[in-house]
Amino acid sequence: MKGKSFGEYTEDFYREHKDMLLRSYPGLAPRRLKQELESFCLHYQINVDDLFESRFIPTLNSPISRFFEYLKRGYPLEYIRLRSYFYKSEFFVTPDVLIPRDETEILVECTVSEMKEWIKKTDENLRICDIGTGSGAIVLSAVQEIQRPVNAIATDISKKALIVAKRNYYNLRFKILKESSVHFIQTDRLKDIDEKFHVIVSNPPYIMESIDRNQVHDQVDQYEPHLALYLNDETYFEWFEKLFAQAYDSLLEEGVFLMEGHEDHLQKLADIAKKIGFTNVEVKEDYTSRDRFLIARKKWIN
């Protein structure tokens, strides 16, 4: 065989770009790189039998050349392979949505546990809302855990994100009770949503666009949607005050609001939630012991 085999090309590529690759993809080893490449080829219906033994012929704009170009640019692997693993499912993702994060799985667990509490208290269908749904990761993960009909609404201000979320709903439909439903609505937080919910959950944008930006990894800042990440510093707390007020109005008595937020701002946000009228306001930590979640309840006060 003349020229390099595909396996040799991949190994040489890894060696030449190792520092850069490890900066963008911590822990990436040659074996994993080959697995990613195989999976990428399968997506483009390229035969992977003997892939790494075959001769490599770089062709401009072929999917395989694009794969190596993406890696050189540090493009997130989830966007290269168009999928991400979150909680118990595989989600379709594009650069129009945030790549779901591990810590958000804690938010799903807490949401599911609140939904199960509600099941003990009521015979009604559960009604839940996910504000800023992105790929639909939170709402679709939570609804599939509940063996009672759930009527969910998922909002996002981004029309493109909702297209991705609807595709995930379609893909994961078989994991969800047929009596349950998820409606996706393009709106600002809960604007014009008149329904009342047992549980409202949100992982909103929560990074202050100037003060907190230096803590954001370059790869995230460069490739993930800014609409999903940043809020204006000056109007940051007003933005949340409005979110909390809308959530409070949209909750049933004893309903619960759960949110992911920024470690540096959650305590102040907890005070704002109390001012709005929420009770039992609690700040919860993530796996790295950082303040990460806010849980607030609407108690009926006579």
156 binds ligand SAM (CB under 6 A): yes
First to last CA, the chain: 84
Contact criterion met (CB below 8 Å) for 162 and 125: no
Q: How far apart are CA 84 and CA 156, in angstroms?
A: 19
* Least gap, CB of 231 to ligand SAM (angstroms): 8
Q: Among 6, 14, 134, 197, indicate the residue that binds ligand SAM (CB under 6 A).
A: 134
Q: How far apart are CA 262 and CA 283, in angstroms?
A: 11
157 binds ligand SAM (CB under 6 A): yes
Question: Distance of alpha carbon 239 from its chain centroid, rounded?
Answer: 20
Q: Among 204, 245, 254, 264, indicate the residue that binds ligand SAM (CB under 6 A).
A: 204
205 binds ligand SAM (CB under 6 A): yes
Instruction: Count the neighbouring beta carbons within 10 Å of the beta carbon of residue 249.
Output: 14
The window from 75-83, 156-164, 274-282, 294-302 that contacts ligand SAM (CB under 6 A) reads: 156-164
Q: Among 10, 104, 151, 250, indicate the residue that binds ligand SAM (CB under 6 A).
A: 104
- CA distances from residue 271 to 10, 203, 205, 206 in whole angstroms, order as listed: 53, 18, 19, 16
Contact criterion met (CB below 8 Å) for 250 and 200: yes
The window from 18-26, 111-119, 154-162, 281-289 that contacts ligand SAM (CB under 6 A) reads: 154-162
Q: How far apart are CA 126 and CA 118, in angstroms?
A: 8
Q: Among 12, 188, 253, 271, indicate the residue that binds ligand SAM (CB under 6 A).
A: 188
* Least gap, CB of 97 to ligand SAM (angstroms): 6
Instruction: State whether the Cα torsion 63-68-69-71 is positive or negative.
Output: positive
The window from 20-28, 126-134, 215-223, 282-290 that contacts ligand SAM (CB under 6 A) reads: 126-134
Q: Among 138, 164, 199, 294, indicate the residue that binds ligand SAM (CB under 6 A).
A: 138
7 binds ligand SAM (CB under 6 A): no
208 binds ligand SAM (CB under 6 A): no
Going through 55-174 in order, the beta strands assigned E by DSSP cover 83-86, 89-92, 126-131, 150-156
Chain residues in the site for ligand SAM (CB under 6 A):
97-98, 100, 104, 131-135, 137-138, 155-158, 161, 188-189, 203-205, 227-228
